[in-house]
Chain A
Amino acid sequence: MIQLLQSAIVFGTVILFGALGEILTEKSGSLNLGVPGIMYLGGIAGLASAFAYESSTPDPNPLVCLLLSLVCAFLASMLGGLLFSFLTITLRANQNVTGLTLTIFGGGIANFFGGSLNKLAGGVGQISVAVTSGAYRTNIPALANLGWFGRIFLSHGFMVYLAIIMAIVLHWFLTRTRTGLNLRSIGESPATADAAGINVTRYKYLATCIGAGISGLGGLYYTMDYIKGTWASEGTIEALGWLAVALVIFAVWRPLNALWGSYLFGVLTWLYLYIPGLNRRSLELFRMLPYVVTIIVLIVVSLRRKPENQPPAHLGLPYFREER
């Protein structure tokens, strides 16, 4: 049981980052289906930078490792978001098509370099970023040993708590700040926001890029903590990326819902280990649950038509003021 919750939290954190970034993006009216690609970019950038640093210095400093990979992951993901923004906002390309291309592209780049890194390091699983990965997984033993509570909640690396803080900050940002209010109004009705003197283009660019940066941290957490600083090109990040997109819907675009939703998804994902009588086949069906639940939420939301729970009204649509 304790182990279940523990792994649920670890798993949930990956998709939580992805979902938080995407919530920010979607609130500005951009539907970025490139989340998996962006998470790939974040993962590989963090890994590659840490690898480069660790293999160039005999005695790597954990803090430098941490900051370097964090910044690189964030920047690389933001570049992905920038590309998406440029194509969809400035060049007015279709968001779905651009997002899907970004997913292909991000996955390609990441696996290309990931494979090369593996080769450089001498084989799959041989990439040694022990110091960085260790830094990500450092916990405070005193807290981690506080009984069951400590083991479930306090035994993780700092990224878990960063994600929680981020969810709360994002919630506060969207509901309590002027900028957040402006952002939400853009996702709902860009024409109104424009008339109120808000720079729609700038907001959309920023929200999409920063959102991508946050999503990318999910990829970073996955490579550094979840698979302990290695690279495997088997498409897990992509699956997690789509799960993050699902989580956004499941959470009806609210960061705090995403917080508990992500852990719930985690529990649903690992629950099969703890249910007696499941064999390898039925567990595959069991893994369908998060998606089925998301579909049900999507349907219920559209049936109930409660305005607060709808997707941002202008989601996925381009906006440009007609020339007078």
Chain B
Amino acid sequence: MRGITKTFGPVVANHNIDLDIREGEILSLLGENGSGKTTLMNMLSGIYFPDGGQIFLGDREVTIRSPKDAFDLGIGMIHQHFKLVDVLTATENIVLGLKEEGKLNLKAAAEKISAICQRYGFSVDPNQKVYNMSVSQKQTVEIVKVLYRGANVLILDEPTAVLTPQETNRLFDVLRNMRADGKSIVIITHKLHEVMAISDRVAVLRKGEFIGEVATKDTDPQKLTDMMVGRAVSLNIDRPLVEHRPIRLEVKNLTVKSPDGVKALDNVSFTACGGEILGIAGISGSGQKELLEAIAGLQHPLEGSHVIYYPPTSDEPIAGHHVPVDKKGEELLGKDPLQIHKIGVSMAFVPEDRLGMGLVGSMGMIDNMMLKSYREGRGPIADRKAPKVLAEQVRKELEVSTPSLTTPVRRLSGGNVQKVLVGREIASAPTVLMTAYAVRGLDINTSYTIYHLLNEQKAKGVAVIFVGEDLDVLLELCDRILVLCAGKVNGIVDGRNTTKEEVGLLMTNLRKEAQRV
């Protein structure tokens, strides 16, 4: 790939990237979230079409416009979200859409699949239905599907994100067998130990730019981390220190299972204190969403989990921050989202599509302001005066640009949607404010507005939990940073004393022990 560029609107996802993929080699494509790894590979597999640059296969220039073109060239990609039909068997899924000669012979196909499995050391039951399969089995089916179509170049997008360590080892064995067979393999990842374990070569992307490539044997995790996260950038975000920091929320042994039976959160314990911003760092999908949802009452944690809330009182010890309080707290688990919200715990979660939860896209600002408060007031008629005042206020204070307060929020730009969401949550005067990805996709100025708002809340004594993607921001904004990795707490560090490298290493699970604050 030479000089590949791809832009989405104003965002440059990939800028002038050169990359070589060699036969019989495993290449790791390393980078943080949003560094453009997946976008780059999507252009190779025909999902996107590059805006500029050329792709060569051997010494022939090729154009790849659709996944089918990619297949015809022997390039296959295994996405993070599997594309399988649940009610069909493995074999049926594998032969789906193929235009082979002759009539459908599932038996022959099953034999061919078994042969592929044997060759590379998979185990897959060709007649098993997909809905009966574990995540790792589904992934195997996806890989076999690509091999069945005769792919020589396999791209795996974060293949280990959903696997257990044992399953990961098995996958790596298979990948090594494929390498021995002369296939080219690219794995997209941000887990350093896997890079070290499996790959021959590493290419690093950062913020859409190609940073460099090294042979794995010539490097070590520390060097790679430096390449990946780059030098710490100074953002000059305020971080006032609040003296009075009582414990507001205590999370003990919180364990949540995802629908596939994997532990999304594993024995998570921490405290959140008033007057403090607790940052939560981690690669995406480490359990951030489940953590916030569990506290907000939207998950059903396993037995033994506790989320205890200590309401503010007038006689709280002034300097007694971070020490267990002797007064009795209130268990939040088992309460419904509404009760929890009434107690004063509020959540502003900005999902990837920004609207999926928390805002009603077809409603205007006024109606969205009342999503959690519409029951207030007596009588069957919903009060729209207070929400209107509130909407007006949010619009003014956060500079939301909208044609009118009744314009459906779906039509607003992403930044404005987020302002509406965060503004509403702050306006409910919470004592614990949780935000996730509050600045996702926002421009710098708007981001600063939001940081400023959070700091204001903190100054008021609110316990703020801030789930973020950008390490630089976390490092400058948060008082403490909790690092999640695969559903576990890998460490809690002091935001003022830590370094980007330290957090980076914790995120990628290289160092288990970290200094406890």
A–B: direct contact at CB < 8 Å: yes
Interface size on B, residues (CB 8 A): 23
- Against B, the Cβ 8 Å flags (1 = close, 0 = not) of A179-194 are 0011011001101110
Cα separation A82 to B42 with both chains bound (whole Å): 36
State whether the Cβ of B68 lies closer than 8 Å to any Cβ in chain A: yes
Contact A178 B131, beta carbon cutoff 8 Å: no
| B87–A188 CB distance below 8 A | yes
Count of inter-chain pairs, beta carbons less than 8 A: 64
Whether a CB of chain A sits under 8 angstroms from the CB of B238 is no
Does A197 touch B at the CB level, under 8 Å?
Answer: yes
Question: Contact mask B56-86 → A, CB, 8 Å, 1/0?
Answer: 0000000000111001000000000001111
The yes or no answer to A276 lying at the interface (CB within 8 A) is: no
Distance A176 CA – B95 CA, assembled complex (angstroms): 12
Whether a CB of chain A sits under 8 angstroms from the CB of B129 is: yes
Q: Is the CB of A196 within 8 A of B131?
A: no
The answer to whether B87 and A181 have CB atoms under 8 Å apart is no
Known: A177-B104, A181-B92, A185-B96. A308 touches B87 (CB 8 A): yes
Contact of B84 (CB < 8 Å), options: A182, A184, A192: A192
Are B85's CB and A192's CB within 8 A? yes
Q: Known: A197-B67, A197-B68, A307-B131. Contact between A178 and B86, CB under 8 A?
A: no
B98 partner residues in chain A, CB cutoff 8 A = 178, 196
Chain B hits for A178, CB < 8 A: 95, 98, 100, 103-104
Q: Could you tell me the distance between the alpha carbons of A189 and B130 in the complex, rounded to whole angstroms? A: 13
Q: At the interface, yes or no: A304 with Cβ under 8 Å from chain B? A: no
- Of B47, B48, B68, B85, which one neighbours A189 at CB under 8 angstroms? B85
- Per DSSP, chain A at the interface is helix
- Of chain B, the residue at the smallest CB distance from A191 is B83
- Least CB distance from B84 to A in Å reads 6
The verdict on A181 contacting B83 (CB below 8 Å), with A188-B88, A192-B96 known, is no
In the complex, A91 Cα to B88 Cα: how many Å?
30
Chain B residues with Cβ under 8 A from A182's Cβ? Answer: 96-97
Contacts of B92 in A (CB 8 A): 181
Q: Which residues of A contact B104 (CB under 8 A)?
A: 176-178, 181
Q: In the complex, which residues 90-138 of chain B have their Cβ closer than 8 Å to any Cβ of chain A?
A: 92, 95-98, 100, 103-104, 129, 131
How far is B126's CA from A7's CA once the two chains are assembled, in angstroms?
45
At the interface, yes or no: A198 with Cβ under 8 Å from chain B?
Answer: yes
Query: Interface residues of B: mostly helix, strand, loop or mixed?
Result: loop
Contact residues in B for A324 (Cβ distance below 8 Å) = 47-49
Chain B 427-443 near chain A by CB (<8 Å), digits 1 or 0 = 00000000000000000
Bound CA span A37–B112, Å: 47
Most chain A CB neighbours (cut-off 10 Å) among B47, B66, B83, B92? B83
A185 with B85: CB separation less than 8 A: yes
A302 to chain B, nearest CB (A): 15
Interface flag for A195 (CB, 8 Å) = yes
Residues from chain B with Cβ under 8 Å of A188 in the complex: 85-88
20 additional A-B pairs beyond A181-B88, A324-B47, beta carbons within 8 Å, are A177-B104, A178-B100, A181-B95, A181-B96, A182-B96, A184-B88, A185-B85, A185-B97, A188-B86, A188-B87, A188-B88, A189-B84, A192-B84, A193-B85, A193-B97, A196-B96, A197-B71, A198-B96, A307-B86, A307-B129
13 contacts between A and B (CB under 8 A): A177-B103, A181-B104, A182-B97, A188-B86, A188-B87, A188-B88, A191-B83, A195-B83, A196-B83, A197-B71, A308-B87, A324-B47, A324-B49
Listed in ascending order, the chain A residues whose CB lies under 8 Å from chain B are: 176-178, 181-182, 184-185, 188-189, 191-193, 195-198, 307-308, 310, 313, 324
